[in-house]
Structure 1
Amino acid sequence: MQFRRTQSVFGIIGRSGSGKTTLITRLLPVFRQAGLRVSTIKHTHHGVDMDQPGKDTFLHRENGAHEVMLATPGRWVLQHETPEVPALETLVQAMCPVDLILVEGFHATVPACLEVWRPEIGKAPLFPDTLSVTLVATDSTSLPECRSGLEFIQLDDIAGIAAFITAHAATITPE
């Protein structure tokens, strides 16, 4: 029987090129300075392989290993083969408990999130139709009329964004 725990999570979503990763890299030191342990989950629609053909771990995986772990003096990586993207709750359960997990992507299933919205990239925002978005971080000076309960903040207000995330992170119980 696996131990079930709750975990605080908050999503950072937005269109490709909007600056999600840049925002996360600016938020992490703020959370760390506040004494929080934060982990991240990155979702991508592109196939990524951390392994290299011919290497031992690649051969283990290609020949049927259920899991392959690579351990080095400075870090370790655990790889799984799955036919589809695992549920967010499944991924959270596989991680060590921390104060907060920032999730980049998973906009359809992350329970609380902000959108990085930069109109100059020329892509439609997600926030009009994504009810889990409660904050829009933007560099736009022109803000659209939108649904109630949605707040806007300047993209460079890192302390304000961190405070919002801390106050509004969702608690989920991994499967």
Structure 2
Amino acid sequence: MKVFGIAGYSGSGKTTLIEKLIPEIRSRGLVVSVIKHAHHGFDLDRPGKDSWRHREAGAQEVLMLSSGRWVLMHELRETPEPTLDQQLAILSPCDLVLIEGFKAAPVPKVEVYRPANGKPPLWTDNPHVVAVATDAATDTPLPALDVNDPVAVTDFILDYPMEDFQP
């Protein structure tokens, strides 16, 4: 599977871009998965539900399933956050994994950059940023993509030479 990143500061539109890329990639017959890094705690569960109660009781993992989906929740409980490679090794086989966040990860990435956010660009100091998706004229030596054109961004990602991830 190939791995490609979407990076940028909070509020830049990373999630919105990925949301537009996924159906475009799927329309080309490819299977796509996503790994999103959250800097703050999060919970997919609700207090009082059986799975929440199991985790609160101390279970390391709770696997929930139905006829439509399954989810595995793993509590780190004082253990280090898994590396990106460890996370990729857990995923089912697919054609492409988009990773959101992971600014420092050594994988090619498109930076979602909006000058109106008032944040400096990542591409100036990050050698893994290989293109910039933006909504404004940007002075960059990298390919500049229209952040509102998911077809063009998908074309760039799929045409970019990437090595297969080997777990």
Question: Which TM-score applies when normalising by structure 1?
Answer: 0.87
* Alignment-mate amino acid for residue 136 of structure 1: V
Residue number in structure 1 paired with 2:112: 116
Stretch moving more, 125-134 or 78-87 = 78-87
Is this contact kept in 2: 1:70–1:78, CA < 8 A? yes
Corresponding residue to 2:44 among 40, 45, 50: 50
Per-residue CA deviation, residues 63-103 of structure 1 (Å, 9 max, x unaligned), is: 22221101122211101112332111111111100010111
Residue number in structure 1 paired with 2:166: 173
State the alpha-carbon separation in 1 of the partners of residues 37 and 80 from structure 2.
12
Residue number in structure 2 paired with 1:17: 11
Per-residue CA deviation, residues 92-115 of structure 1 (Å, 9 max, x unaligned), is: 111100010111011111411110
State the alpha-carbon separation in 2 of the partners of residues 161 and 21 from structure 1.
14
* Alignment-mate amino acid for residue 135 of structure 1: A
**Runs of 4 or more consecutive aligned structure 1 residues displaced over 4 Å after TM superposition:** none
Residue number in structure 2 paired with 1:107: 103
Query: Number of residue pairs matched?
Result: 164
* Alignment-mate amino acid for residue 86 of structure 1: P
* Alignment-mate amino acid for residue 74 of structure 2: H
Q: State the secondary structure of the residue aligned to 2:164.
A: strand
Per-residue CA deviation, residues 23-48 of structure 1 (Å, 9 max, x unaligned), is: 11111111111111101111110100
Question: Is residue 70 of structure 2 the alignment partner of residue 76 of structure 1?
Answer: yes
Q: State the secondary structure of the residue aligned to 2:107.
A: coil
Is this contact kept in 2: 1:11–1:110, CA < 8 A? no
State the alpha-carbon separation in 2 of the partners of residues 145 and 91 from structure 1.
32
Is this contact kept in 2: 1:111–1:170, CA < 8 A? no
* Alignment-mate amino acid for residue 103 of structure 1: I
> Any stretches of 5+ residues in structure 2 without a counterpart?
none
Question: Is residue 87 of structure 2 the alignment partner of residue 91 of structure 1?
Answer: yes
Question: Is residue 157 of structure 2 the alignment partner of residue 161 of structure 1?
Answer: no
> Any stretches of 5+ residues in structure 1 without a counterpart?
1-6
CA separation of 1:92 and 1:125: change in aligned 2, threshold 3 A? same
State the alpha-carbon separation in 2 of the partners of residues 52 and 160 from structure 1.
39
Indicate the percent of aligned positions where both proteins have the same amino acid: 46
